[in-house]
Amino acid sequence: MSAFPVLSAVPELDLARIRADFPILRQRVHNKPLVYLDNAASVQKPRAVIDAVNECYTGYYANIHRGVHLLSERSTAAYEGAREKVRAFLNAASAQEIIFTRGTTESINLVASSFGSQTVTAGDEILITGMEHHSNIVPWQLLCERT
């Protein structure tokens, strides 16, 4: 009997099906299928996201949590519905644990300046790889300078 658990087989990814979900990847560049790997700041969107954004902009786009009119109520319901879907996907205990930001850079800055400022002390080590995007290096460097 092994001390390690037996892992079940991981299903093979259907890359053609996944690529088909991203309309922009139907293009060819230099007579080859487009491959886009610069996802740190500008990730390509699958059809479901494009359709959802289009539905929002053409059907109910308005301020969330601030209006008492129909479009604001619809936008707020959609926003909170998305928060609940993310909560369920991550198995978070509460939707209040889910925070939306404008992007990864803002998220990393938020974590470094809030959680990091409360938990990192002088002498602690913050480990990142040499391949990190600049936006995941600077917030930690600044935190280290402050501690």
> Model confidence over 24-81: pLDDT tens digits?
999 999 999 999 987 766 889 999 999 999 999 999 999 999 999 999 999 999 999 9
**Averaged over 109-133, what is the pLDDT?**
92
**Residues with Cβ within 8 Å of residue 22, at least 6 apart in sequence:** 44, 45, 46, 47
Our CA angle for 135, 138, 141, nearest 5°, is 150
Model confidence band, residue 4 (pLDDT cutoffs 50, 70, 90): low
| pTM to 2 decimal places | 0.72
Query: Is 101's pLDDT higher than 90?
Result: yes
Q: Are 59 and 48 in contact (CB under 8 A)?
A: no
Q: What is the band of 134 on the pLDDT scale with cuts at 50, 70, 90?
A: confident
> Residues 11-35: what's their mean pLDDT?
94
Q: How far apart are CA 117 and CA 95, in angstroms?
A: 24
Token pair for 74: 């619809």
* Percentage of the chain exceeding pLDDT 70: 93
Q: How much is the pLDDT for 7?
A: 65
Domain boundaries along the sequence of the chain: 60-99, 104-146
Q: Comparing 48 with 130, which gets the higher pLDDT?
A: 48
Select from 146, 80, 92 the least CA-distant residue to 119: 146
Measure the CA–CA gap between 70 and 67, rounded to whole angstroms. Answer: 8
How far apart are alpha carbons 81 and 61 in whole angstroms?
15
